[in-house]
Structure 1
Amino acid sequence: MEAGNDTFLSHLIELRDRLIRVLVAVGIAFIPAFIFSAEIYDFLARPVIASLPTGSKMIATGVITPFLIPMKIALLAAFLGVLPYVLYQAWAFVAPGLYAHEKKLVLPLIVSSTLLFFIGMTFCYYFVFGAVFEFINKFAPKSISVAPDIEAYFNFVIGMFLSFGIAFELPVVVVVLVMTGLVTTDQLREWRGYVIVGIFVVAAVVTPPDVVSQLSLAIPMCLLYEIGIFVSRFVEKRKLPAPGAEHPAGE
């Protein structure tokens, strides 16, 4: 019992240390991000500004909103800037419980997870935002003046970025599930129909209630699911170690 408690406490201490490292990294990256927060927001606002009538601007309805929004933007930019380090700390925490052949996949998974997250955000910014704002503005009555609130817009951007960034991690999730033996590629193929239905349900929930954004998320997710199955075939071919032949580090 004492040995088990010592192991549990050591894991908690390690988790605390890694969280502190992440917070320190975010704090360091926050400084330059805050300095350029205005420029970052102008960049984020370009898609909606481009869809507004010439000369239109965004507004701030809150008293302290002009100060809070740059803070939030800087925090987001700082977190994204150190995202590879955050993922490394997460994988390093679980590494002692992995087999040697699984540890070899850690670096590719970290790199692919980071790239896919940023690809999802980039796809959202350059391809989805413009189409969504143009689609929405077509239904705006001519008698109203559209002036989006900067806080509402920032919350919308964050929600969309997270939705697309996480959604584009689908191939990594599929590969990890196959790598850990929880599912097989045959099962993934059998469940394809149910997964597609689930993808469209998720897209309808996490995106605005317009068909453009929903399809923009659902269709790439379906393609990414197929990519995950394709890559998982190669992972599945790797022979698992025989019982007792290979153990996670520390055993």
Structure 2
Amino acid sequence: MSLGGHLIELRKRLFVAALAVLAGAVAGFLLSDLVLSALIHPIAEVAAEQGRDASLNFTDVSSAFDLRVQIALTVGIVISSPVWLYEIWAFLMPGLKKNEKRYAIGFLAAAVPLFLAGCAAGWVVLPHMVTLLTGFAPEGTTALLTARAYFDFVLKLVLAIGIAFVLPVFLVLLNVAGVVTGQAILRSWRWAILAITLFTAIATPAADVMAMFLLAVPMVLLFFSAAGIAALNDRRRLRVQQRVLETEERSIVCSA
């Protein structure tokens, strides 16, 4: 294709992706009541456990509508992710080599479920985070949470844990690209466990050891799984190099 042809193709792909996000946003707006109820539930637990008044507050006339629009867009992006991920893939696929396509498909097949699993784990630890952070307020005070700021906090927490679950896939991708070896990944296991422990300690209350354990175990397993896959890839790469060297030696002997 010419440059103009690529731009036309990109416009078509973006248009289809935008329609999918818009359709998902409509569904998200219809589901916004359920999402709001789920968001308010941790606040109700704060009121019950801490014996203080806690509520979600809308500070201006349009904030309730703005929050529903934010929820609708977020849900729409998640619901339509298979469509816009496919459109991105379909646009990039003609420019990839055969082995690059295989790696890209494997990356997407692993990254998307892990990201969704991380988001689900973030949603599980959300009530603990709300209880912990609001617990620093003095006794006798009221927890008045602004709707927009609260939703931003929830979104960032869920996305952060979702991205943390995808990081081992990036380690494998770096190994495939030849940037880091499997042994180098495995040698850093102490630092990795320390980083995971600190991350889970921040993401969960210090007193809730079980929640921290449930969040840390899959992350540690994912790290060692990435190290194992990288080590297997290193062995495969070494075998290929040995075969190439043997082939070259045979060709030299035959020519002599």
Shorter-chain TM band: 0.7 to 0.9
- Asked if residue 171 in structure 1 is aligned to residue 168 in structure 2, the reply is yes
Q: Is the 8 A contact 1:117 1:168 kept in 2?
A: yes
Q: 2:10 aligns with which of 1, 12, 15?
A: 15
Query: Quick check: which has more Rg, 1 or 2?
Result: 2
State the partner residue of 2:33: 38
CA distance in 1, matches of 2:207, 2:62: 34
Q: 2:141 aligns with which of 131, 136, 144?
A: 144
TM-score scaled by structure 2?
Answer: 0.74
CA offset digits 1:202-236 (Å, max 9, x no partner): x49xx7797689x9577754543222222333444
Please state how far the C-alpha of 1:167 moved relative to its aligned partner. Answer: 1.4
What is the one-letter code of the residue matched to 1:65? S
Seen in structure 2, the aligned counterparts of structure 1 residues 92 and 179 have a Cα distance that, compared at 3 Å, is farther
State the partner residue of 1:247: none
Seen in structure 2, the aligned counterparts of structure 1 residues 8 and 191 have a Cα distance that, compared at 3 Å, is farther
State the partner residue of 2:22: 27
Seen in structure 2, the aligned counterparts of structure 1 residues 185 and 93 have a Cα distance that, compared at 3 Å, is farther
CA offset digits 1:36-60 (Å, max 9, x no partner): 2122221233223222237743211
State the partner residue of 1:225: 223
- Asked if residue 120 in structure 1 is aligned to residue 118 in structure 2, the reply is yes
What is the one-letter code of the residue matched to 1:172? V
SS in 2 for 1:169: helix
CA distance in 1, matches of 2:119, 2:32: 18
Alignment length (residue pairs): 232
Q: 2:43 aligns with which of 38, 44, 48?
A: 48
Q: Is the 8 A contact 1:116 1:168 kept in 2?
A: yes
Please state how far the C-alpha of 1:9 moved relative to its aligned partner. Answer: 4.7
SS in 2 for 1:58: strand
CA distance in 2, matches of 1:218, 1:8: 47
CA offset digits 1:80-103 (Å, max 9, x no partner): 112233333333333334332342
- Counting only pairs closer than 5 Å after superposition, residues 1-251 of structure 1 correspond to structure 2 as 8-53=3-48, 56-126=54-124, 128-192=125-189, 203=199, 216=212, 221-239=219-237
Higher helix share: 2
What is the one-letter code of the residue matched to 1:136? L
CA offset digits 1:170-199 (Å, max 9, x no partner): 122122222233322123234445656766
Choose 141-150 or 7-16, whichever is displaced more.
Answer: 7-16
Which consecutive residues of structure 2, in runs of 5 or more, have no partner in the other structure? 245-256
Choose 98-107 or 38-47, whichever is displaced more.
Answer: 98-107
What is the one-letter code of the residue matched to 2:113? L
CA distance in 2, matches of 1:94, 1:192: 35
SS in 1 for 2:180: coil
TM-score scaled by structure 1?
Answer: 0.75
CA distance in 2, matches of 1:88, 1:96: 13
CA offset digits 1:21-40 (Å, max 9, x no partner): 22111011111211221222
SS in 2 for 1:57: strand
CA distance in 2, matches of 1:238, 1:158: 40
Higher relative contact order (CA 8 A, sep 6+): 1
Which consecutive residues of structure 1, in runs of 5 or more, have no partner in the other structure? 1-5, 243-251
What is the one-letter code of the residue matched to 1:96? P
Tell me the C-alpha RMSD between the 2 structures: 3.4
Identical pairs, percent? 28
